Amino acid sequence: MSVRMPLMAGNWKMHFTVAEAVALAEELKTGISRFDDREVVVAPPFTAIAAVASALAGSPIRLSAQNCYWENQGAFTGEVSPPMLRDLGCHYGIVGHSERRQFFGETNESVNRRARALLANNLAVILCIGETLEEREAGKTLDVLAEQLKGGLEGLGEEHADQLVLAYEPVWAIGTGHTATPEQAQEAHAFLRGNLAERFNNTVANSIRILYGGSVKPENVDELMAQPDIDGALVGGASLKGASFIRIVDFEE
């Protein structure tokens, strides 16, 4: 495990009524006991953030939004702004998730605008990047990662490093049951850290946490977290059940 504090994040996606979300939050609040050497984050749907915030009051578990718009206010029907998320108690915002890119037309430019808006409102960013199966099979993985990282970080400087988290999520492994091998994940993470060093410097690159996302589950989390450049996990399906996510948070090297 690296010297960077691991971050274990659960992305609940479009799941749960308010009552269901609160029940899971309460289960996590009582069931997770290891916080001294790891950070825990949950990302409920927008409709449940306020209720989950209340349920987690007094707990070290932090809140994240699953997305945001890049304007603070205005005539943007259906959107949610960074100040609204801060008002609800969010600490993080996820941007660039592959499902947003795939189903809702997110581009590197729009992802960057969302990231910059979050940072401008003192919210930390979890920036997601990752290649499709076709891109991996064509040998384009590293090129895709470099392009997405460059676009996502446009206009950001060293001063933003302490509020920036990357999440490598190979699209072909999200919700499919297929997981990148620890070696495949480590290769991508090491490449991204090297890219950060070129963009900033080694000190900054070594301070930024890079999460792995893509069918993380209790059965593979220990092996993934043993890799030197994997600093945590962005967990989808396995974060929807308390016992499963608690075991993931309780990973061992």
Say yes or no to pLDDT of 253 above 80. no
Q: CA–CA separation, 13 vs 31, rounded Å?
A: 21
Q: What are phi and psi of 127, to 5 degrees?
A: -95, 115
In this predicted structure, the answer to whether residue 197 has a pLDDT above a threshold of 80 is yes
* Domain 7-249 part of CATH 3.40.640.10: no
Instruction: Copy the structure tokens of residue 38.
Output: 């790891």
Task: Return the pLDDT at 58.
Answer: 96
Tell me what pLDDT residue 243 has. 98
Q: In this predicted structure, what is the pLDDT of residue 1?
A: 38
pLDDT digit string (tens) for 142-181?
A: 999 999 999 999 999 999 999 999 999 999 888 777 778 9
Q: What is the 3-state secondary structure (H, E, C) of 90-151?
A: CCEEEECCHHHHHHHCCCHHHHHHHHHHHHHCCCEEEEEECCCHHHHHCCCHHHHHHHHHHH
Each residue's pLDDT tens digit, 80-130: 999 999 999 999 999 999 999 999 999 999 999 999 999 999 999 999 999
Q: Which two tokens stand for residue 189?
A: 């993470």
pLDDT per residue as tens digits for the range 25-61:
999 999 999 999 999 999 999 999 999 999 999 999 9
- Is 234's pLDDT higher than 90? yes
> Of 216, 219, 195, nearest to 206 (Cα)?
195
- The percent of residues in the chain predicted with pLDDT above 70, rounded, is 99
Task: Indicate the domain borders of the chain.
Answer: 7-249
Q: Which of 97, 106, 131, 135 is catalytic?
A: 97
How much is the pLDDT for 172? Answer: 86
| 55-78 residue pLDDT tens | 999 999 999 999 999 999 999 999
Return mean pLDDT, the chain: 96
Q: Residue 178 has what pLDDT?
A: 78
Q: What does the pLDDT read at residue 198?
A: 97
Question: Does the structure show a pLDDT above 90 at 245?
Answer: yes
pTM of the model: 0.97
The Cα–Cα gap between 136 and 134 comes to 5
Catalytic residue, chosen from 39, 106, 135, 169, is: 169
97 a catalytic residue: yes
